[in-house]
Structure 1
């Protein structure tokens, strides 16, 4: 269920990213050809960028595609390798907690001071509220990942390599 929601969020983020890219190209073309920029485009980009970034994180965390250094865990025997993986996933959870907390504080300050965009005077806080919710959604996802690693450790199951699993899915092996 969480993975399905994360995939939909990523698709929404990708569509917004593509729309943003098209708008930037159109703005560059308009500036170059007609010497007329698209009025307020920077304001709109300022509003949607945090949402685009935050929408891609839940599925990345759920699929263990966060930045990790797994060569040491693979080189060690199973149990120590699992402990290193557990340490990394707990660290990712703590970092995600910190990011969600600080972005939440920043969002409150945007609301408190009624921050708005420079040209269009659009309020900035609604997009940051959405970004904060998306980041907060990452916390239970990363907690589930940590619990999964703990279960693997207790069951003495071999280290799960998300890259190998993903490659197996692409090649049709699983």
Structure 2
């Protein structure tokens, strides 16, 4: 559902940009603030797609070692890569919070529309923390697969 929100935001940005280009070309009448909207909405668009990406394991993977080492090694490497992804996403989410707080403290605003920037980045931070929760579930599932197979074989 979050990814749909993100894709809707991306679609809205694309339509706004297209309309801006057409109005500039046909009537020399640009839409004011398109860059402002794009700058703040893109943080939410991107961060809202990350939890779905992690849940569906759509990240780039190299499976050479797992294929060479057999099913047990493949499951262990899958769990290890899930752990590394969890640590990485956790570090990113951890840094989003002070970044959004810093934007609030400094009172940063968009250039043309003068929208405060921090609420948008705060939503992006929430999305990243949801991604941490999702990746935690993925990691636990992958870890359980490693031990479940060992228990069945042993």
Partner of 1:108: 101
Q: How large is the RMSD of aligned CA atoms in angstroms?
A: 1.2
Aligned 1:35-114 pairs, distance under 5 A:
35-114=28-107
Deviation digits for residues 31-59 of structure 1 (CA, Å, limit 9, x no counterpart) = 11212211011111111110000111111
Structure number with higher helix proportion = 2
Aligned length: 150
Partner of 1:161: none
Ranges of 4+ aligned residues in structure 1 off by more than 4 Å: none
Measured in 2, the distance between the counterparts of 1:154 and 1:26 equals: 55
- How far residue 71 of structure 1 moved from its aligned partner, in angstroms, is 3.3
| Corresponding residue to 1:29 among 16, 19, 22 | 22
| Corresponding residue to 1:128 among 108, 121, 130 | 121
- How far residue 75 of structure 1 moved from its aligned partner, in angstroms, is 3.1
- How far residue 74 of structure 1 moved from its aligned partner, in angstroms, is 2.8
Give 5+ residue unaligned stretches, structure 1.
1-7, 158-174
